[in-house]
Amino acid sequence: MTKRIISLILAVLLFASLGVCAFAEKETETYKVGAETMKMICDKQGLDYEFCKAAIIKLNDAFKSEDDFTSMTVGMSIVLPKTNQAAAEILGVALPDRLKPKATGETITYTIKDKDTMIAICKAKGLTFDKCKAAIMKLNGWNDYSFLNMKSGTTIKLPKTDADAAIIAASTGTATGSATGITPTTALLGNDAVAAYMVPYVVKAGETIYGICQANGIDFNRYVNLIMKASGITYATNLHTGDVIFLPSGSTASGSVSVVAHTVAGGETVYGICQTLGVDYNACYNMIVALNPTKNLNAIHTGDVLYFPSGSTTTAAAAGGTATGGTATAATGGGYSSGYTPAATDPATTPAAFKAKEGVNFYLKEITIVPDDTVYNLVKAAGFDYTSYYANVLLAANKLASFNLKQGDKILMLSSSAAGASVVVKGVKVANGDSVIKMCETAKISYNDNANLIAKLNAGVNFNNLKVGDIILLPVKP
């Protein structure tokens, strides 16, 4: 028993000595005392005496209290914390604000990687995007819209901390573009943030896009195509007094459109992201194309960074708005609208009304989402044209608010084959005295469970004014 006790004591002593050694390796240093006081030693080593004295007592068995500092002798070796921060870690407490290093405007460098966003970069470096935005622009000579066009391989400067960013932003000289904090104008997804704005500008007599860009510090060569597409302009020289065009900016203004940076998650589609952000896909399609000129919106991938217009408060650009007193007067209808006509290779956004036929029109079949699936590609692969009609039918069939899908999700997809179908979309002729509810009863399906889907299948049909011979589409079990 005695041997066991002795062994236990030795083990405890060994453990304690190892703890001191751990301190010595990471956070401490050995100091040989001269003809000096502990206060003088701390001042010499850059330590705050009042804060560090407790750590010094903890590190040295010779000291039980502050009074024991007076017993030091010349040549004596003591252990000191290397820094005030080390003393805080030894004591297991937070470093007092008065001892925290003062920001000096220090910077670090970072090389942009493929699919990087400044929001993600700041997060990885422990920075706050909104607090550092102005400093980043100043350090790199950027304007607000540069955040949307970062190129892989480019080395940039960043503030080391948020506090350094404040010093840099307040230093002599001004950042290119707005230095104000960005306030989101709409509900955002996950880590999304507003990266810039598209601000309406009323054209004055004789003005050109080039001249307007020059006057507003905008790189004409870089942004002319964006401005034209976002504004519904076919030719850069085809401006008229009173026209409203949209310019990239870092500050919001009346009628501006927020540009939201969104990182694509597995199974997401452009249409689904728009649904979640509350953006009208059809009305805003041209703006989305303009904001993502290097992306194939029909084949987006997990991790892609896309930009969306959101929080729009004007439709003046091409929906009949007029200029009054230098401010765009919004036309009715809500949401951004553009007169720019997409090229023929773009997906149809305003398809002709779906023509129902008697009998089977198409099927719905359950599938499982795999990486890089998009609803657009799945619809095309099934042999259908992607239209808003089919998109709305699929949302209703799957009882989804948006196509915010992820790998492994199971959804009903369009199919032209009966094999494995879960639902047959069948056209039924209206008979005398028929109502939709009565037709559902005849087809042995629940109207209440399928009301939304039936409404989407028969878009534009007034169920209260059915005529004999009309074709009504119903989701029938195979």
What is the band of 182 on the pLDDT scale with cuts at 50, 70, 90?
very low
Structure confidence by residue, pLDDT tens digits, 83-138: 888 898 888 888 887 887 666 778 888 988 887 888 888 888 888 887 888 888 88
> Going by C-beta distance under 8 Å and a sequence separation of 6 or more, which residues neighbour residue 210?
220, 224, 236
- Are residues 430 and 365 located together in one domain of the fold? yes
- Are residues 298 and 210 located together in one domain of the fold? yes
- Are residues 152 and 55 located together in one domain of the fold? no
In terms of residue numbers, what domain contains 469? Answer: 359-476
- In the prediction, which pLDDT does 188 show? 47
Q: For residue 83, which amino acid is it?
A: T
- Are residues 91 and 118 located together in one domain of the fold? no
Structure confidence by residue, pLDDT tens digits, 335-373: 222 222 222 223 333 344 578 899 999 999 999 988 767
Q: For residue 199, which amino acid is it?
A: V
pLDDT higher than threshold 70 for residue 8:
no
- Are residues 95 and 116 located together in one domain of the fold? no
- Are residues 87 and 120 located together in one domain of the fold? no
Over the chain, what is the mean pLDDT?
A: 74
181: in domain: no
351: in domain: no
pLDDT higher than threshold 60 for residue 173:
no
- Are residues 95 and 111 located together in one domain of the fold? no
Structure confidence by residue, pLDDT tens digits, 208-257: 787 888 787 777 777 777 787 777 676 555 667 777 788 877 666 666 67
* pLDDT, mean of residues 176-180: 30
- In the prediction, which pLDDT does 63 show? 93
* pLDDT, mean of residues 368-390: 80
- Are residues 89 and 142 located together in one domain of the fold? no
End position of a domain, from candidates 312, 329, 346: 329
- Are residues 166 and 228 located together in one domain of the fold? no
Q: State how many domains the chain has.
A: 4
CATH number of the domain that residue 121 is part of: 3.10.350.10
